[in-house]
Amino acid sequence: MMWGIIVAAIAVFGLAVPGAVTARDAMADGTPVPVGIPGNWHLVFDDEFTGTTLSTANWSTGWFGDGVTSAPGSNPRECMSPSEVAVNGELDLTLIKRKSACGGTTQPSTSGMVTTNGKFEFTYGAAEAKIWVPGPAGTDTIEDWPAWWLNGQVWPTDGELDVLEGFGGACAFYHSQNRPAPGSCTSGQWTGGWHTFAVDWEPGAITWYYDGSEVWNVTNATPGVIVRSSPMYLVLGLGTYGGPPPTPVTMRVQYVRVWRQPVTVTYSGTIRLTQMGYCLDDRGNSASNGGVVQVWRCNGLPNQQWQVMSDGTIRINGLCLDAPDHGITNGTKVQLWACTGRPNQQWNTRNWRVNYTNPAASNQVLDDPGYGGNGTQQELWANTGTRNQIWATN
């Protein structure tokens, strides 16, 4: 979501027709689940905006700063002020025509924004907000620029996942490269009532749902898309779009929720160099950060028993196989570290390789520089196809 400049290539308009959301989807014990999104979900973030104050444990106001801040984008026409953020059984973000100073300039309008940056972020899962967008009731014309999105720390390489952008209608985009982003707009009557806008972000695929109906999907095979794995935080804001903004207008939010699927074991056992008789080995059976990852003659002991997980991690003793400091260069020594969900702990075991799937290092694989030999510390290296990079997990 980049207010002030549109950097997206919009796909053909969808045909889904929204229906007002009146009931909460929930499990038998009353725990809410995503509307219309299949899965075995576990709620990890939930703000219902009860009471009369914003939860500062969950949210900060503004965009990268305290007090009155600039808005996102290269040419915004509003400042973001805490004065336009209100909670009273719901979250209200209001855009008014009042001059404000921010970023060294004076803007003609003032609005509200909240983010979880520095307080909550996640990798993979479902995120949903129930929103009453501004605009004439019962039409497909959304006023101004209400937006609900997920954002990584480094744009665009960590990803930006726009769940809803009100470009006059309801639109979704995904930014993952420094180029125009693919997007899709869904026709329908989105104003004058509550609607859910959600996304299911999984390894290699992202699916958008409006009012529980699938409206768009992208994968790594979609032109212009790399589905990123870096953690993202939550953002809600109301900006200006097009001509002079109708003011005052308010974006109303009833709740914001995030769920994750449970992480499961997809393989358990040794990871061995297929032609050498050596196994990936946790030196000293370490259970602390910085543990050395080496090869050793396969012996079946616990320090050679690894778990390949559904979230892309490879684990032993509760720690994850890790590239220190997000290293992406030849010779980076791998280690064990507490699992963080960040890209430097993302791997796959396809095609007889242990591939490092950090998008910034797409050609790096786990490499045995000693071609066997007890105690050789393992590293990252470009995929050469040589036998010191050929591993088996069975």
Q: Is 2 inside any structural domain? A: no
Does 252 lie in the same domain as 271? no
**Between 360 and 81, where is the model more confident?**
81
Question: pLDDT tens, 263-274?
Answer: 889 899 999 998
Does 296 lie in the same domain as 190? no
What is the distance between the alpha carbons of residues 245 and 109, in angstroms, rounded to a whole number? 9
Q: Is 88 inside any structural domain? A: yes
What is the distance between the alpha carbons of residues 336 and 345, in angstroms, rounded to a whole number? 9
Domain boundary, last residue among 210, 227, 260:
260
Question: pLDDT tens, 167-199?
Answer: 778 999 999 887 778 999 998 999 999 999 999
Residue 333 and residue 325 in contact, taking contact as beta carbons nearer than 8 Å: no
| Mean predicted confidence (pLDDT) in 96-125 | 93
Looking at residue 140, what is its pLDDT? Answer: 78
Helix, strand, coil percentages for the chain (3-state, nearest 5): 5, 45, 50
Domain boundary, last residue among 232, 260, 288:
260
Does 256 lie in the same domain as 271? no
Does 101 lie in the same domain as 24? yes
Looking at residue 17, what is its pLDDT? Answer: 35
Q: Is 370 inside any structural domain? A: yes
Does 240 lie in the same domain as 142? yes
Q: What percent of the chain has pLDDT over 70?
A: 87
109-111/78-80 β-pairing? parallel
**Between 164 and 74, where is the model more confident?**
164
| Mean predicted confidence (pLDDT) in 278-294 | 94
Number of domains in the chain: 2
Task: Identify the three-state secondary structure at position 120.
Answer: coil
Mean pLDDT of all residues in the chain? 86
Tell me the residue range of the domain where 136 lies: 8-260
Cis ω for the linkage preceding 223 (within 30 of 0): no
Does 319 lie in the same domain as 202? no
What is the distance between the alpha carbons of residues 371 and 380, in angstroms, rounded to a whole number? 14
Query: Is the sign of the CA dihedral 166, 22, 198, 118 positive or negative?
Result: positive
4 DSSP 8-state letter: T
Does 230 lie in the same domain as 270? no
Rounded to two decimals, the pTM is 0.75
Does 34 lie in the same domain as 163? yes
CATH number reported for the structural domain that contains residue 107 in this entry:
2.60.120.200
Does 324 lie in the same domain as 230? no
Does 227 lie in the same domain as 91? yes
Does 352 lie in the same domain as 327? yes
204 DSSP 8-state letter: T
How many degrees, rounded to 5, is the angle at CA 87 between CA 86 and CA 88? 125
Does 117 lie in the same domain as 219? yes
